[in-house]
Amino acid sequence: MIEFITTIIFLCSLIGIGVIIYWKMPLLLEMPETLPSHFRWRELFLKIKNSIPFKGFSAEILLQKILSKIRVLTLKTDNKTSNWLQRLREKAQKKKFVENDKYWEEVKKSTKE
């Protein structure tokens, strides 16, 4: 369980870092190039910005996908808890039936005597 939580925190952190870098790219591209000539930040950021995953990026579509996955997850957990509740009710009903059956057995024995 702890590994699952740390994995979620790690992935959310990576996504956050990626979003911050994506938002700051225009500012980074406007920075004057004062670094040595072999260090080309501008070219690197232009390649990242123009890469295939970022071309059709839409925050609304990403939000829709995340919300639909959360909805599916909640529906699955709801179904699982419903099944558990149903099994518990069936066990309680069987237990009640067995106890009720024992009661009538005792009544029969007491009337025969």
For 54-77, the pLDDT digits (tens) are 566 677 888 899 999 999 999 999
Report pLDDT digits (tens) over 99-109: 666 777 777 77
At 52 the pLDDT is 63
At 55 the pLDDT is 62
| Helix/strand/coil for 34 | coil
Phi first, then psi: give them for residue 57, nearest 5 degrees. -70, 130
pTM greater than the 0.75 cutoff: no
At 25 the pLDDT is 77
Q: Which residue has the higher pLDDT, 1 or 77?
A: 77
